[in-house]
Structure 1
Amino acid sequence: MARLVEEFKYIVRIGDTDIDGSLPAVYGLAKIKGIGYTTALAILRKLGIDPHMRLGYLSETRIRELDEKVRDITQLGFPSWLYNRRKDYTTGKDLHLIGADLVFYARQDIEREKRIKSWRGLRHSLGLKVRGQRTATTGRLGMTVGVSKKSR
């Protein structure tokens, strides 16, 4: 007798990431590096999958379809502001990167800034704060015992 309900999958592999099958689909997709809650919700709504359904109950064909769309969400027709890499430096295209690609491109961007000796690149190379934060009291490295203010 054929089973109508497929077996529950405890681990689902989407976008080269192992995800706990007991998680709701929206939170499971958000576990993939480069996909947050909002992006996951948009993908699931576009594919017609209930965001609160457990990932382990999805069929193999749905999981394959989800994996394919997660790897390239540009084919789903989302607006460009939803992507995490707009106007790529080399190609000029709007991309959405996940996993190891995201880490690779971020590291490549930092290395390029160091190479051209931009302000951000210099801050990165010196190991200092890059985004304009204060540095007088935070971001100290090593042991600091009794740091006191300069006398006026």
Structure 2
Amino acid sequence: MPRLLGVEIPAEKRIEASLTYIYGIGFSRARRILEQTNIDPNIRAKDLTPQQLNEIIHAITNNKIKIEGDLRREVQGNLKRLQAINSYRGIRHRKGLPVRGQRTSTNARTRKGPRKTVGVIRNPEAKTGKV
């Protein structure tokens, strides 16, 4: 498995698809990187030469594309900022509810998590029918 910028990419897949295993690089951005470096997108990742790997790394770093840790840190920072200023979106993130205006009376189970059933504890005297 070739390593690119600290991420193992699958060797058997085409390089166009393998680049998407890097957090922050999707399919269209992977295509753009390969166009800049003049690398055939249909080549398997295991068939890349070290020079081609270096060209891909330089294309990512020279375009100042945020990937992996830097991007994750930025996204978390954005969420923390929204929560710190007590914006509506920040409050929804904090409570674990849908953020973009979806309904919550029904649905929204993915965001809310599994149902929390409220149990009822009965009085033992009520069972026997005694008053």
TM-score, normalisation: structure 2: 0.79
SS for the counterpart of 2:17 is helix
Q: Bigger radius of gyration, 1 or 2?
A: 2
SS for the counterpart of 2:3 is strand
RMSD: 1.6
2:7 aligns with: 17
1:8 aligns with: none
Residue 89 of structure 2 is aligned with which of 120, 130, 136? 120
Residue 39 of structure 2 is aligned to residue 49 of structure 1: yes
Summarize the alignment of residues 65-104 of structure 1 with structure 2, pairs less than 5 Å apart. Answer: 65-74=55-64, 96-104=65-73
Unaligned runs of 5+ in 1: 1-10, 75-95, 146-152
Q: 8 Å contact 1:71–1:98 — kept in the other structure?
A: no
| Structure 2 Cα separation of the partners of residues 18 and 41 of structure 1 | 19
TM-score, normalisation: structure 1: 0.69
Distance 1:141 1:41, change over 3 A: closer
> Identity of aligned pairs, percent?
31
Stretches of 4+ aligned residues off by more than 4 angstroms:
none
SS for the counterpart of 2:9 is strand
SS for the counterpart of 1:61 is helix
| Structure 1 Cα separation of the partners of residues 19 and 25 of structure 2 | 7
Unaligned runs of 5+ in 2: 118-131
Q: 8 Å contact 1:113–1:120 — kept in the other structure?
A: yes
Aligned residues: 114
